[in-house]
Structure 1
């Protein structure tokens, strides 16, 4: 077969000069219309830095974070960068992740205005590729706002409360985990000597076991290898999905399937967590006793069967949806609270004078032998103020979970188009110098009045605000208070001699975790 030269190709009817010109005209018109429509769509949006081609502002703000670390250099965490940008562009400004418009909300008044005064618009969740691939937009954390989400969240909240969520009846479950921590710390303190103890595995196990008892009806031994691996996978998955090259999935979603590096690791993490949770659901289904429900999974399976028996063919109560709910609760109920406890103990190890004051208050009110209870909380204002001050400084979910505008809205003088990703910067609220004196300093007394009573400030919002406020807020507060105060009643925590304190910048991976550290633990009696 003879091949045609390019001149002969042009002379054919397929790509004749007339058709070639027509094609150029079409492409030019398409480009002009596309640009015009984009300009109309993005007209009057909040100001912001000029985006780069293809990657948007992503290349200017987030891409260097993992590149710099691999080069041995240091970069600011995203929440610090986003807070600093408000100085140049105002408390409401725009960024682009690829072609996706993202609006950052800084400061309490702006965040409150959006999430509390316009909840119907700003309570939705965006379709973020790196999240959607793993969650399928189901569950109660990442699912879109609407009737399905409201029904699922209401069921979960009601069911968890029936099993003790936010109630004193859950205290024995928390105390059971504290007994294990104390026993292990006594053993480890003798073995570790001046090297110090890594608190992370013990704290994570105890905290996770509380949520496991509510949703899975069982506790795991702190040396259970499968369970410890699951906690490690959760922590690693959150970190690499936000704080590594894996964030490029949000621009080029096909990268998720790459057979190398963090992309391959992320898929393996997902597979391992999926296998663990699905085994739990299968075991519950096979041992279900409708007359004696043990936990949230049993209650959900019973509701699912009841709706099937009633002939509700379009019911959203399915095993598939249950899987994503368990994943949400399991991860959210472990990572955030465990990191909060670890942050508090780190700050008190760095500030032994504050630790001494907390222990003096506990000794005076509770003593050194009586088991500390939630009923003591109101009598320990300095202890609670110290916990709150660490929460203010560290904000365990500093950029919240991304929201989305469900419709176009005029907000604070700007047009925010439907589908815009909304980032409530909680870090900026807790570091705002107009709200907090010397906001970067560690000062628990800012939460106390002149008589030493606890001050509750409306702009203290570590669990967020609005309709997407953390469902486990009450449980987290219970665990945080009991764990911190009970451990301080029993032990002193100090940094190893001659060891510089770890960076307080933390590790950002959706949640803000402290950098790995060890502490010398000594019994107080």
Structure 2
């Protein structure tokens, strides 16, 4: 996974550099990068940032996240038995889900046709390997089935993309709001990185301040609609870092 993240980070940085000093919204680019990391692990491939099908699916997922935060979606949760029959925005959510699920079904069908048993390429292939084993054993109490595979793939693709992308966006926002924190993170990262072109996952243990900042973003930010707020009841001292109430 670390190699996949490093590879996609290079594409992300390259896309950021295209904007030079101009103002731009990083939302779509971050969505592309995060989703591609998930796609490379789950589907065994990444998509170009200008791939029309890929962009359409991400747009539908993004649109649904916005709609679920809206008034009508919240009302549907309470009065769904009535609103379900009215021509309101909740139908767009349902249509979007259908289109996203159709895309995922096509991905799974392609894997069925092209996979080589015993030579898994990605998460889907590995899951299908387990399906084959259970069919051979004729196990009545199956732990793996196609429906569960589909739901797992959908959760990874949809929920994984939105939550991680939102976390990165909140991180950028807080770095802009607190430039002194941004500078401390940069100095710590540069010190650990040295002459290397990139950091490795194991380097995180040597960057306590940067890790603390990321955890604080998780605490403060609203990553998903209706997320639970987090706050300290009292001041907490962690090594040299004081977390205020």
Task: Give distance in 2, aligned partners of 1:320 and 1:180.
Answer: 34
- Structure 1: runs of 5+ lacking an equivalent: 1-169, 401-425, 438-445, 458-525
Question: Paired residue for 2:190, among 363, 367, 380?
Answer: 363
Equivalences for 1:369-518 in 2 at 5 Å?
Answer: 370-397=197-224, 426-427=228-229, 430-432=230-232, 434-436=233-235, 448-450=238-240
Residues 282-319 of structure 1 deviation map (CA, whole Å, 9 limit, x = unaligned): 00111121121111211222222322232235536332
Give the distance between the partners of 1:303 and 1:187, measured in 2 at CA: 44
| 1:390 aligned counterpart, secondary structure | helix
**Structure 1 contact 244–262 (Cα < 8 Å) conserved:** no
Q: What is the rounded CA distance, in whole Å, between the counterparts of 1:246 and 1:219 in structure 2?
A: 32
Residue 333 of structure 1, CA deviation? 1.5
Q: Residues 242 and 346 of structure 1: is their aligned pair in 2 closer, same or farther, counting only changes over 3 Å?
A: closer
Runs of 4+ in structure 1 deviating by more than 6 angstroms, as ranges, are none
Q: Would you say the 8 A contact 1:209–1:219 is kept in 2?
A: yes
Structure number with the higher helix fraction is 2
Match of 2:142 in 1: 315
Q: TM-score if structure 2 supplies the norm length?
A: 0.88
The alpha-carbon distance between structure 1 residues 259 and 272, as it changes in their structure 2 partners (threshold 3 A), is: farther
Partner residue, 2:161: 334
Higher fraction of strand: 1
Q: Which residue of 1 aligns with 2:12?
A: 181
CA distance, structure 2, for counterparts of residue 316 and residue 364 of structure 1: 47
Q: Mark the runs of 5 or more structure 2 residues left unpaired by the alignment.
A: none
Q: Could you tell me whether the CA contact under 8 Å between 1:361 and 1:382 is conserved in 2?
A: yes
- C-alpha contact (below 8 Å) 2:118/2:129 kept by paired residues: no
Paired residue secondary structure (1:188): coil
* Structure exhibiting the larger radius of gyration computed from Cα positions: 1
- State the secondary structure of the residue aligned to 2:129: helix
Q: TM-score scaled to structure 1, two decimals?
A: 0.43
Deviation, 1:177, is 0.7
Whether the 8 Å CA contact 1:246–1:256 is kept in 2: the answer is: no
Separation in structure 1 between the aligned mates of residue 84 and residue 225 of structure 2, nearest angstrom? 29
Number of residues of Structure 1 aligned to a counterpart in Structure 2 = 243
Q: Is the 8 A contact 1:256 1:264 kept in 2?
A: no
Which of 330, 345, 349 lines up with 2:176 in the alignment?
349
Alignment CA distance shift 1:320-1:398 (3 Å)? closer
